[in-house]
Amino acid sequence: MTAISNEKIPNNVNLSEDKKLQRALEQWQPNFLEWWQSMGPEGFQQRDIYLRTAISSNVEGWAHYDYVKMPDYRWGIFLSDQVPDRKIGFGDVMGEPVWQDVPGEHRNTLRRLIVTQGDTEPASVEQQRLLGHSCPSMYDLRNLFQVNVEEGRHLWAMVYLLHRFFGRDGREEAEGLLERRSGNPDKPRILGAFNEPIDDWLSFFMFTMFTDRDGKYQLLALAESGFDPLARSTRFMLTEEAHHMFVGETGVGRVVARSAELTKQDPNGDARKLGGVDLPTLQKYLNLWYSLSLDLFGSEISTNAASFFAAGLKGRANEDKHYTDHKAIEGVYPMEVPKTGNAMQLEKHEVAMRNAMNEVLRDGYVDDCQRGVDRWNKTLEAAGLSFRFVLPSRRFHRAQGIFATGFFSPDGAPLSKEQWEAKQSDWLPSAADKTYVKSLQAKAVVEQGKMANWLAPPPKGVNAKPVDFEYVRAEA
Question: In the complex with Fe ion, which residue's Cβ is closer, 148 or 283?
Answer: 148
Per residue, the 3-state secondary structure of 81-132, as one string, reads CCCCCCECCCCCCCCCECECCCCHHHHHHHHHHHHHHHHHHHHHHHHCCCHH
Stated as kind and residue range, the H or E segment containing 339 is strand 332-339
Shortest approach of ligand BYC to residue 213 CB, angstroms?
A: 8
Shortest approach of Fe ion to residue 243 CB, angstroms?
A: 8
Shortest approach of ligand BYC to residue 355 CB, angstroms?
A: 9
Q: Give yes or no for residue 212 binding Fe ion (CB under 5 A).
A: yes
Phi, psi of 68 (to 5 degrees): -150, 145
Nearest to 437 by CA among 281, 266, 317: 281
DSSP 3-state of 46 = coil
**x/- string (CB under 6 A) for ligand BYC, residues 198-227?**
-------------xx-xx--x---------
Please give the Cα distance from 453 to 440 (Å, whole number): 8
Q: Which does 283 bind (CB under 5 to 8 A by kind): Fe ion, ligand BYC, none?
A: none
Q: Give yes or no for residue 137 binding ligand BYC (CB under 6 A).
A: no
Q: Give yes or no for residue 305 binding ligand BYC (CB under 6 A).
A: yes
Shortest approach of Fe ion to residue 141 CB, angstroms?
A: 17
Q: Give yes or no for residue 304 binding ligand BYC (CB under 6 A).
A: yes
Q: Which does 163 bind (CB under 5 to 8 A by kind): Fe ion, ligand BYC, none?
A: none
Please give the Cα distance from 219 to 437 (Å, whole number): 32
**x/- string (CB under 5 A) for Fe ion, residues 233-262?**
--------x--x------------------
Q: Could you tell me if 361 and 317 are in contact, meaning their C-beta atoms sit under 8 angstroms apart? A: yes
Shortest approach of ligand BYC to residue 435 CB, angstroms?
A: 26
Q: Can you name the residues that pair with 336 across neighbouring β-strands?
A: 348
For the residues of 252-280, what is the DSSP string, one character each?
A: HHHHHHHHHHHHHHSTTS-GGGGTS--HH
Judged by CB under 6 A, the residue of 44, 145, 166, 297 near ligand BYC is 297
The amino acid occupying position 107 is R
Alpha-carbon Rg for the chain in angstroms: 23
Tell me the site size for ligand BYC, rule CB under 6 A.
25
Question: In the complex with Fe ion, which residue's Cβ is closer, 164 or 244?
Answer: 244
Q: Give yes or no for residue 298 binding ligand BYC (CB under 6 A).
A: yes
Judged by CB under 5 A, the residue of 142, 154, 272, 354 near Fe ion is 154
Q: Which does 158 bind (CB under 5 to 8 A by kind): ligand BYC, Fe ion, none?
A: none
Of the listed pieces 3-11, 60-68, 103-111, 114-122, which binds ligand BYC according to CB under 6 A? 114-122
Judged by CB under 6 A, the residue of 148, 234, 281, 302 near ligand BYC is 302
**x/- string (CB under 6 A) for ligand BYC, residues 46-85?**
----------------------------------------
Shortest approach of Fe ion to residue 411 CB, angstroms?
A: 30
Surface-to-core class of residue 104, CB atoms within 10 Å of its CB (0-12 exposed, 13-18 middle, 19+ buried): exposed
Q: Could you tell me if 356 and 333 are in contact, meaning their C-beta atoms sit under 8 angstroms apart? A: yes
DSSP 3-state of 442 = coil
**Letter string b/e over residues 115-142, b meaning 16 or more CB atoms within 10 A of that residue's CB:** bebbbbbbbbbbbbbebbebbbbbbbbb
Residue nearest to ligand BYC (CB): 298
Question: In the complex with ligand BYC, which residue's Cβ is closer, 237 or 451?
Answer: 237
Q: Which residues contact 382 (CB under 8 A, 6 or more apart)?
A: none
**Letter string b/e over residues 235-246, b meaning 16 or more CB atoms within 10 A of that residue's CB:** bbbbbbbebbbe
Shortest approach of ligand BYC to residue 165 CB, angstroms?
A: 16
Q: Can you name the residues that pair with 414 across neighbouring β-strands?
A: 408
Q: Which does 377 bind (CB under 5 to 8 A by kind): ligand BYC, Fe ion, none?
A: none
Question: In the complex with ligand BYC, which residue's Cβ is closer, 48 or 140?
Answer: 140
- Note the residues at the interface with ligand BYC (CB under 6 A): 113, 116-117, 120-121, 124, 151, 191-192, 211-212, 214-215, 218, 295-299, 302, 304-305, 314, 358, 400
